[in-house]
Amino acid sequence: MDIVIRPVVPGEHTVLGEITAQAYLGDGLLDFAEDDPYLRVLRDVAGRAARAEVLVAAEPRGAVLLGGVTYVGGPGPLADLAGPGEAEIRMLAVARDARRRGVGEALVRACLERARAGGSRRVVLSTQDGMRTAHRIYDRLGFRRAPHRDWRPRPDLPDLVLLAYELDL
């Protein structure tokens, strides 16, 4: 696998934000498409990088970004689910032309390594029902569904339920 996982650098924020936005848009994961307020959050890599660790998958020479993920080392402003002793994975996205190359799995594995190194006892994440490819990655890596942690991020969209997964380390 010719993929390098490393922290994002400021000059890549816009590119990664667009990869993330296009992944969600292209997969039909935003209820209001281009008008969805979450699109702004997906594009705000600089904001995430100021409060958590944002990782990218890149070609070995580093010129082409393939995807990215936000790693949250514990409770804090970017944690939706993580409690004490838990790390969280957020906003996993792979560019459409880089899919089926192991990019998503490599990014998740990098988060798991960071969680272990940081002393976390569990990694948690939220996902949508339609994120089937991501679910296969999580299943393959040993995550299990945690329905007791499912949640609704938007009261105005009662049908939008985020499914929780967890992995004990």
- Residue 109 buriedness (CB in 10 A; 0-12 / 13-18 / 19+): middle
Taking 80 as the threshold, does the pLDDT of residue 83 lie above it?
A: yes
CA distances from 21 to 41, 79, 132, 135 (A): 9, 20, 18, 19
- The residue-averaged pLDDT of 26-49 equals 88
Percent of all residues in the chain with a pLDDT value above 90, rounded to a whole number: 73
pLDDT attached to residue 62: 63
- The pTM for the full model equals 0.93
Q: Which residue has the higher pLDDT, 158 or 126?
A: 126
Q: What is the mean pLDDT of the chain?
A: 92
Confidence band for 156, pLDDT divided at 50, 70 and 90: confident
Domain boundaries, the chain: 4-121
The CATH-assigned architecture of domain 4-121 is: 3-Layer(aba) Sandwich (3.40)
